[in-house]
Amino acid sequence: MSKTARLGLPYIMQAQAQKEVTHNQTLNRLDIYINPVAEDIVDDLPIAAKEGTIYIMHNELAQYTDGYWSFYPALEYMEVMVLEENKKFVFSKNQWTPLGYPEQSYESKEQSNKNVKTSHKNKEQLLTIEQWEEDIAMSGKVITSKNIIPHHSMVIAVNIWVIEAITGVPSFAVGVKEDPSRYGDKLSVAKDTTNIGMTYHPVTYYYDSPVTIMPNQMEFTGGVIRVSVQYLKPKGAWP
């Protein structure tokens, strides 16, 4: 087998030449599949776009990188935030459908912080992939999320999206109390900045840990970011 079964991430093979090519291909697929945010749903793509821009086109996600468009197949039940529509769409049975109300309360502009948790599991599974999202208003010196990384879990990624431009600071870091820049450092405060925060190896947390956001200088005076965390959660083989 040369690639993973679900996301199609290419494996690095023994004695393979140019391993960095395979590694970079894997990073590109993760970049578009984890917490995807698309500009719009279109039938035709623009000739050029900002680096990293994503569009939904038919049954694929198209991303503009290094001067050309790359295409990635949509996955069954994949959710994508579409900026032009200001709502999430889910891919199922070869079509994109907007998620309904009231479940998608993230569209409420009066809500300054939100707490959404999802998980994919059944009672037979002893290991689940779980995630949560939270919108955080930026104010002060050190900000901690209301949601936590639960104890005895292994974090895959901590991601951020700057929904409203951040003011008061030149840049910021994302991490946890013991390592404030573990998942990103000197991140841009500009609107629509995104970052997929990954470590060389997934980090295991043995106690509940909130995500921290810290300025590199001064204090936050405004702005909103969306934090999303994906992690593995094991369960013992007992009731």
> pLDDT 10s per residue in the chain (239 long)?
566 666 666 666 666 556 665 566 667 777 778 888 999 999 888 888 898 899 999 889 999 988 889 898 888 888 999 999 888 999 988 888 887 633 333 333 333 344 555 554 444 567 888 999 999 999 999 999 999 999 999 999 999 999 999 999 999 999 999 999 999 999 999 999 999 999 888 899 999 999 999 999 999 999 999 999 999 999 887 77
Start-to-end Cα distance in the chain: 35
* Rounded (10°) CA dihedral 141, 204, 130, 105: -10
From residue 18, alpha-carbon distances to 4, 27, 39 in Å are 19, 15, 33
d(C-alpha 200, C-alpha 207), whole Å = 21
Q: Which two tokens stand for residue 25?
A: 């291909």
Three-state DSSP state, 141:
coil
**Would you say 133 and 228 are in contact if contact means Cβ atoms under 8 Å apart?**
yes
HSE of 14, CA atoms in CB hemisphere, 13 A: 1
d(C-alpha 140, C-alpha 212), whole Å = 12
Q: Is the pTM of this model over 0.85?
A: no
Longest dimension (CA), the chain: 56
* Domains of the chain with CATH codes: 35-98 (no CATH), 110-234 (2.60.120)
d(C-alpha 168, C-alpha 222), whole Å = 7
For residue 170, say if its preceding peptide bond is cis, omega within 30 degrees of 0.
no
Amino acid letter at 158? Answer: V
Gyration radius of the chain over CA positions: 19
Of 203, 224, 204, residue with least CA distance to 213: 224
131: how many CB neighbours lie within 10 A of its CB? Answer: 18
